[in-house]
Amino acid sequence: MRSVSDRRARRVRDERGAGTVEYLGVVVVAALLVVAVVTGVRSAAVAQHVTAALCDIRSAVSQAGDCGGDDDPTTYDGQDGDGLTAGAPREAGEGSSGDAEKTGDAASPDYVNASDDREEADPERVADALEELRDALEGGFFGVRAGDLEDARDAVADLNGRELDALIASMDDEELERWVSQMEDGWLLGGWSREERRELWELLASRASKDTLDRLAKFTDELQPRFDTVGGDGARDKPESPRNVGEYGEIEHKLFVGPIRPEDVSQGRIGDCWWIASMMAVAHADPQVIRDAITTNANGTYTVHLYEDGERVDVTVTPDMVLMPDGTPAFVDNDGRSQPYELWPMVLEKALAVQFGDYGAIEGGWPSDGMTALTGRPSTVHGTDDLSIQQLATTLADGGAVGAASLTPRDAKNSPYYQLDTDPERRLYPNHAYYVQSVDVEGGTVTLVNPWGIAQNPPITMSYDDYVEQFRRVDVNEVSR
């Protein structure tokens, strides 16, 4: 099972590996330049050979994506390897959740909740920024270097949303593709780390229109996270898998519909129950934490405030979500509700996918990491028998959140709680995250909730002794205390 620290360590290793590649590339470049001077080869030919050589070196050692590969095997039908499990697909439920803020046209250049009074563009500012940007992207003999990319970013940093739209509209696809490719894979003393690229993407995502962001998304996966890696190898041959039939689209929605509740959330076709259980546990403990975690931008996008290593990290996502052919969300959903959708669970899930690199990267994890990412407060990890029933009750009463991880399949095979013929109101699933909803000290019981959704998976109440035996660890977060 991967933790946030595991993913971070892999990302650091990848960055270090990239640095080594850059060093080797410089050595190769230097050697080729010496040959060029001696033999009189033209500079254009030198550049061509240098680029090819550096590309070959990178290809030999690079990883697929900034977060590396998936360490934990997953399967589409519910088992996350050593991670936590994904829920089965559900049909959309009945019932309305309120009126949508706007009904959008799929062909609209703006997101449906974009403000109508955004500041107008100043043509002179756009023209000046475009000239500076193109100068930066011309580079020099050694191509576009990191400093040139910084100049390009500075050229657009002060533009408002409509000015960014006008600037991007003035650039052809070749220019945009070059800009992105130089950020992601500059050939000599160029390219940016993922953190540096995220700064620019955040700027654009929080200001530009849907049209502009859709166009930019053709050249990068860092605006709309990939989802063709979800579900593990078992999903590749399933025609109904989101990785095969999912598409991004904007659904009729409101960010919040009434009070924030755990019942707003139901895990979808992805093995991120650790994150879904974390959202539900925090929403149960203090709904205001969820509300404060999301800011609506004037262009109709949402900026999510997550935490990594105790530091706040802002991640801006568009309201486009991965949808199935029938128009229902492929991943986290509202529990049994029909349109308009309450978007906050989807926004939080998408933000985590952006932060980790793609949707596949968020499959498998622990509630402790999810609750910390939401609250900024460190979680504590315990064996289930480390905390008495009174301690559990006190934690919940004090506004804390509690998540629990069920047994592995090997440990669960002889337990009646995990058998297929078990009463649905008592059945547990192995390698799965739950959150603790309540504790009855006098009755000696613990009630837990499956993140697959309360509507179809009622809370399970069991004796404290059974809880100790049927779960392998319990994670606690103080949330806002």
450 phi and psi, to 5 degrees? -80, 130
How would residue 174 be classed by pLDDT, with cut points 50, 70 and 90? very high
Q: Considering the domain boundaries, does residue 344 fall inside one? A: yes
Same-domain check for residues 360 and 260: yes
The string of pLDDT tens digits covering residues 250-272 is 988 999 998 999 999 999 999 99
Q: Considering the domain boundaries, does residue 130 fall inside one? A: yes
Same-domain check for residues 396 and 472: yes
For residue 87, the model assigns a pLDDT of: 38
For residue 166, the model assigns a pLDDT of: 97
Same-domain check for residues 257 and 357: yes
Dig out the tokens for 14 from the structure. Answer: 């990848």
Q: Considering the domain boundaries, does residue 350 fall inside one? A: yes
Same-domain check for residues 297 and 360: yes
Given a contact cutoff of 8 angstroms between Cβ atoms, the answer to whether 432 and 406 are in contact is: yes
Q: Considering the domain boundaries, does residue 256 fall inside one? A: yes
Q: Which domain holds residue 199?
A: 123-159+161-206
Same-domain check for residues 278 and 187: no
Q: Residue 34: count other Cβ atoms within 10 Å of its Cβ.
A: 10
Same-domain check for residues 165 and 51: no
Same-domain check for residues 420 and 366: no
For residue 192, the model assigns a pLDDT of: 84
Tally of structural domains, the chain: 4
Same-domain check for residues 253 and 369: yes
Q: Considering the domain boundaries, does residue 241 fall inside one? A: no
For residue 186, the model assigns a pLDDT of: 55
Same-domain check for residues 258 and 370: yes
Mean pLDDT on 76-81: 37
Q: In this predicted structure, which of 72-86, 173-187, 401-415 has the lowest mean pLDDT?
A: 72-86
Q: Considering the domain boundaries, does residue 28 fall inside one? A: yes
The answer to whether residue 105 scores a pLDDT higher than 80 is no
Q: Considering the domain boundaries, does residue 98 fall inside one? A: no
Mean pLDDT on 112-124: 92
Same-domain check for residues 369 and 253: yes
Same-domain check for residues 170 and 271: no
Partners of residue 439 on adjacent β-strands: 446
The string of pLDDT tens digits covering residues 213-237 is 999 999 999 999 999 989 876 677 7
